[in-house]
Amino acid sequence: MNLESLKIDLAKQLFSINEKSVLEQIKSILERKVIVAYSTDGKPLTVRAYNKALEKAEQDVVKGKLTDSVSLRKEVESWKSH
């Protein structure tokens, strides 16, 4: 397959994709961004975004913005009773 045929074949395949997450992954590959994790809402995270999230979490810990396991268990139990 020559280069032009390959491009046309790939374009056809891209147009047939209906999942946003798959297209986002392809875009990240084309932009040379490596996905290392996903956020809790399913968004892909690059190394830079992942490290930024870790830094924020570390700052939250330093500021005392945490939930201890006992409080978390109580919160989860309250969800079950609703």
In a domain, 2, yes or no: no
- Domain membership of residue 71 (yes or no) is no
Using CA atoms, how far apart are residues 26 and 54, in angstroms rounded to an integer? 25
Task: Profile the chain (82 residues) by mean pLDDT over runs of 10 residues.
Answer: 92 95 87 85 89 94 92 91 72
Per-residue pLDDT at 65:
93
In a domain, 26, yes or no: yes
Give the Cα separation of 22 and 24 in Å (integer): 5
Does some domain include residue 81? no
Contacts of 33 (CB under 8 A, 6+ apart): 46
How many domains are there within the chain?
Answer: 1
Residue 43 lies in a domain: yes
47 inside domain: yes
Domain interval for residue 39: 18-65
In this predicted structure, what is the pLDDT of residue 50?
A: 93
**49 within domain boundaries:** yes
